[in-house]
Structure 1
Amino acid sequence: MDTEGIKKLFHISSSDKQYGEVISYKDTQRLTQGSKGLGFLSVFKFGKRVSWKTARNNQLLEFSADFDSLVKEYNIADKLIDVSVSTSDGFVGTLIQIEIDDYNVDKLKEYFGDEKNRNKILNSFIGNNKVQDGKIASDKNFTINFSVDGVSKSTDYEIQLETQNKSQQLFRIQYSSDSQEIVFSKENKDIYSKKIPFNSNKYSIDMDLVAYSLKAKGKSSIDSLFYNPNTNELTPLIYINNNLFNNYTLFNTELMTTKKYSEVLKQLIGYISVKSSDPSIQFNSDRTQFAQSELTDEISRFIEKLNEETQKIGSSLKNELRDLNAFTQTKISEEETSNLENLQKYIKEDFKLKPFINFKKQTNKIECTLFDNSITLDIIPRVKKEIDLGTVESWIGVDDLNNKIDNLSELVAESTEICFNDDRVNRFNENQEGEWIIKNEKESTITSQKIILKKPVQPKISQSKNILKKGRDYKIDDLFAFTNSFGEEDKGLEFNIDTKNNPTININFNKGIINFGRLNENTISIVITDKKTKLIHEADFTFRVEEDNFDIPQETSNSDLVVMPINKKLTLKKMLLVL
């Protein structure tokens, strides 16, 4: 400032500044933030005594003011200000010193001790001009240095939207009232756009946001500059004429939760820049709310419209990126996979990201990729003639499988698929029990051979009765069941029955009859051997013998002769009673 500028400080309504006009100083340009001359009075919010030190045209001007003496003046313009003038001696700019009491010192320390508040002060100006890609960032020609109790902080120009938790970013969202188009981009590709008309000549608006799908603790990787100090949630920042407008309701990320929750996209950070030279844009003393006017209402409505369109479109794109539920069918005929571009017709018409789906053919599937998400579609193979060679059952170690299947080795060697118990395997093992299917697929035919391999088991004896009557004849087949190694009853077995030296047990091996002549428990031992497998089952069987109180007629007709179905001679070990 010069002396003329200092005098105008105290003539509130006589300021010659025009709100929003460009101010140039050397190579730097800024937009005028005020127009009524009220800005200098804001210093008295922190303390009652203030001194200024300012240089211009090699002159150093120093003066001070006391708030209590100013309010006593009938007309503040009548206040005489004592200005000290000297040579600047290299001093550049303006230094303002405010004397404040201990209470305000403590409150300021507490406020600026919070990183969220401090960062907003340090980054309270954005650049005057956008670069060609429409991105908005801090003004690199306006550095703010901040020091509390010897701890210094400065404007951080490394805070760039594209580097804020890059791995969990969904897309970037940009709008300019010049192009009247909202553009969504991902991995430096424009993926969707929509016209949003803009009709005002009183202001311009630009928006540069990043949307997220955050995982656990994902927010901690985002600079606290973009935290709402009231809720601690992520928020875009609004700048009026490149200066931070400390308002968090104008672009409310919770907007769609009260309208349509399925269209919510509230994990947003970034910048919204409004520029205007219209003096009707005014604020309350804390610069947290607009002073209501026709223009500020218009700006508020348009920002809300941008917010709504951003969340509606963005939530739809988020769902497409996350679920990739894009296709009208999940199976594609093999004939159509010769040209993968044909598959575009199976994508839903309303799928916004349709042009960005890439296709890759695998053996029997099509991999469909949308950025870092993918799904697969099944390929329906051409219909081929199926030749079923039938089913062959074979006993491992007993049968010669080569005698049952002609050219078995050739069939296995030329196979295109081998399955074991419905699971695909690499090779055929003729000693592995289970169900095998050997397939040979050619251009027009599929030949399949089913082989069921079984391992013989130990022959089995099971007892049917264990309480008998003394002296009564019992058919051996009524007392026992005999099964060979192949699950067949009374076939291919050799028998050996031992009476355990009990002379009262009588066996007629021709008739297959056994008779017990002693009460209480009687035990016999039976050994059966499968003739093919040589597997043996040996077991002791005990019967409880009781008195027979009924006379049973003895018939001797030929019809009562018992022929055992096993049709094999019994080897009997008999113990003779010697008196």
Structure 2
Amino acid sequence: MRLSVSGKIIKEISEKIPSTTYSMVELIKNAYEAMASYIEINIYDEMIEIIDDGEGMDLSDIRDLLIVSHSNKEYGVIKNGRIISGEKGLGFFSVFKFGSKVTVHTSKQELDYSFSIDMNEIENLKDIYDSNVDISKSASVDVKKHGTKIVIENLNSETMEIFCKVLNNPSNFLKLQNSIIDDSFEIKLNNLMKNSKNINSDISNLSLKNKIIAEAFFDSDKNYANDCFYYRICINNSWYDIDIDKKYNRILKNNKFGIKFQITYFKLSKGGVKNVSDYYKDQNLKKISPLVYFNNVYFSNELYNVEVNASMKSSKVIRQQVGIINAFLMEKGILDFNSDRTMLIESKNQLLFQDFLNYISSDSQVRIKEIEELEIQQKPKNRNIKMLKGESLKDNEIDDTNIRTIYYQNNVEKIFNSMKIGDWKIEYNNGDTTNISVLDYPDAKMRFILNELEVAKEYRLDDILEATDCKGTKQIIPQHIDIQPAKNISFDSKNEKLIVMSPSDIVFNIKFIDKISSKEFDFNQSIPCVKKTVDIKVNKTGFLHPFIKLNKTSVLDRDLVNFINEFNQVYDNDSCKMLRVASIRTLIEVICCEILDSLNEDKSEYLKENFKKIFFENGIKNNLFSKVTDDRDRRALTSIYEANKHSLITGTFVDKYNYSTHGLTRIVNEEFYKGDQPIFNLLYSYLLFVSQDKM
């Protein structure tokens, strides 16, 4: 027997994406990760046209594209300066959020390919395993041509009505138009629908320059000294370095995580918010806040809370903030997203990350107010600055004129020399003082930019490793490179090209010198090399079948087993339709009771209460999701749960089946329950899992 997947699952995946904005961002991200320099989105009343000049696709790429929930992208890999973060394999299927028919034209390596998919045909298939997509192939007329064009037709009128409102809302439009932060990538968003509005694309806020009271900056790769991260505040061209609570070192010191932010704080008069770019506003165009991006891709304007100090005195509150917070995730698991990447999944790191954002919002507001008060009260000015060895005063925007006295370690010096590490003090003729801590160069860094290597694939060392000097640039000199095991590899040291010939852990032993600091460093780490394979799962057919592979025997009541087998048999034979409809609620109730018995949980006389207890979020996570060891099985279960979460945990899923028992012959047919097949199979998988080896 083999696993079968109904065509409805693809339709459900696309329809469950919660908003048209997120669907379109997925398609934009696909073009960006295909190394396009632009994407052009033309939205008409009858169709949507999406064009990019990326790498295009060949037959192998198209095959990968059409595998549901599969991606050939490696999370966290840096390709041509762009961070790849697509790995769920659902991006392309976002097109069906907008319309049922999709035609793709793509060009790569002097060949043109095209194919069409009609969701109306696919959703009627009981099993899409044997369905074929006809792909035409021809030689390109223009041998230099590359890229992809997607045409979406048979548009969903309800979705397009919502999307039209999105495009006519300046806040949503500008977030979509600026959903990627990269000067090398342009998003051309052309709303050509009837009644479309012209929206000002300027997001610079230059007209409000005189309303700025402060700016805050942070780069986790640069703002670190003496085991402490710090962010910088600029007020009236004066800079202040603010230490960050060390409890956040746990996430900030992770070399697979990084974060940068630039936040601008305004003092606007009443009604002044209307002059701020709509890019930073909520959908009602009332409030402004900084925006959060992950790996240069827009995520949310709700994670950063400008109201975090609302309970404090007004003297500690600065609500009028805009800016960009960009977090970089170089491997999966640091922060995880739900199946459609619209929410962060709760975890220790997620809670710490959210707390860090709240901390920055709160602390920066308080510090800016304190500095403002200090500058008013304290004359002359007193500043504290940190700089790296070898940097100049001008590099750190420190005045090098009108100096009265220079001190180094409390001794008078004739000139400032940043090659001397330690504490300096500069006193000016007007009484101002600048205290400078000159810090030694931080260590140079080398890290893998891939998570694994592939057997028989040729790599340049630059494709595998990234090295940065003490200032974050590339001034690194390799001294010695040793890659083991030597018998498993072919390494061209002259051209720095590597091929691994069999699966194994590849160990890199590299000595290198930082040209700036002249320090020598050793890099000794390993990376796995694997042979790429495709897993094909085999399972039963019928209406009810598990999503997971069981390692042990499930013990079920014999009558229940017969009930399920007979239901599956008449479902496969397409017989006894009304009997199936009449028995579907009983099937739910019997399975729910069996699950609660296996978990030793008390049962209610009401089906809805039993159903809610089974799908209570912490319960199903502890009893099922956390115990399923196969990643693919676990993703299948959690994606269906997340897509239907509200109806499961509230029990509203059961309501329609309770109602059907009172009006069966008048209102119900077999289509009534077929669309819920994924939920039934989630319930059935739950039952089989908790019933393993039950004696």
**TM-score normalised per structure 2:** 0.42
Larger radius of gyration: 1
**TM-score normalised per structure 1:** 0.49
More strand by share: 1
